[in-house]
Structure 1
Amino acid sequence: MVDMGMIAGAVGTLKTALDIAGSVKEMNDLAVIRNKVIEMQNLIMSAQGTAVTAQSQMLEMVHEIAELKAKLAEAEEWKAIADRYQLRDYGNNTLAYELKEGVDGEPHHRICPVCFEQRRKSILQFRYKTHSSQDKFRCIPCEADFEFGVHHAPQYRKPERNWIR
């Protein structure tokens, strides 16, 4: 943050330099005038150094504000995306985010919960139906697999007759 005392000091220094310049007009001794001019130049250089330091601090603050605005915009953008989804339990310890009902503009889909927590929207891709009648999905970016639906154990039929005789 810009030090207000630093700015006040620079203004005070410049005022002193102006006072010296005003008093030089009334002097007749050349040596005294030279000493006052040197003193005035030193004060002006000091004020310039203070002004440069303050300007540097202001530039740093402008960059910091720009970074914070970008982060805020990113957070607001993610919040708008996240508000469109709800976490749903599909059973068998399978959780995923799904598009809320009534949200227009996109077909119904599911989002990977791992990627979602990292602020990435990664739509789960259908792979195949398992032998237990579950739908197998995969998240391409993080390579996590998900099985949705009730697990049905495959049923095997007993042979109707004994084929070994």
Structure 2
Amino acid sequence: MISEAMAGASALKTAFDMAKALKDISDAAIRNGAVIELQEKILSAQEAQFALVKRVDDLEKQVASFEAKGSQMQRYQLKDYGAGSFAYELKESEARGEPIHRACAACYQQGHISILQFSHNTEGQDWYECKRCNNMHHFGTRVPRTYSRTKTDYF
């Protein structure tokens, strides 16, 4: 971006110097050649200016995108669901009509909100799947089942 600005400034300075020199040229052919060269320098400066304007516009859009994403991410808070289970949960104050839901902690750390989808329940734990990273997450304390079998269980 700095090189584009320098090129534009250099082209404008050259164009200014050429314009000053034009007033002293009496030969029409030489003057016409200088006018053409001056027009080329002006065009070059305009192209550099256009490139700078486009770059600034792109950067402004990028900043706006980062700000919007940051605002979206701030709507969630990390929550401990016990038994080593963590997820980001939509803050009640930020719901704006959305149901309270959980987001994958791994995806959140990478800057993405991926809503966890219920998969199944086993031994007292609810299992959720992240459709973005395909990880399974368990919530709740596991309650192992014990089975005692007798001979009468088989008949």
TM-score, structure 2 length as denominator?
Answer: 0.81
| Match for residue 119 of structure 2 among 116, 127, 144 | 127
Q: Does residue 45 of structure 1 match 2:45?
A: no
TM-score, structure 1 length as denominator?
Answer: 0.77
| Match for residue 74 of structure 1 among 65, 88, 91 | 65
Q: Please tell me whether Structure 1 or Structure 2 has the larger radius of gyration of its CA atoms.
A: 1
Tell me the SS of whatever aligns to 1:19.
Answer: coil
| Match for residue 6 of structure 1 among 11, 17, 28 | 11
Counterpart-to-counterpart distance in 2, 1:163 and 1:40? 114
Superposition map of 1:65-144 within 5 A: 65-105=56-96, 106-130=98-122, 132-144=123-135
Q: Does residue 150 of structure 1 match 2:141?
A: yes
Structure 2 residue identity aligned to 1:61: L
RMSD: 2.2
The Cα offsets for residues 19-65 of structure 1, whole Å up to 9 and x where unpaired, read as 32xxx4xxxxxxxxxxx222212322222221121111112112211
**Percentage of matched positions with identical amino acids:** 30
In the alignment, structure 1 segments of 5+ residues that lack a partner are: 25-35
Structure 2 residue identity aligned to 1:9: T
Tell me the SS of whatever aligns to 2:55.
Answer: helix
Tell me the SS of whatever aligns to 1:61.
Answer: helix
Q: CA deviation at 1:123?
A: 0.9
Q: CA deviation at 1:70?
A: 1.6
Structure 1: 4+ residue segments shifted above 4 A: none
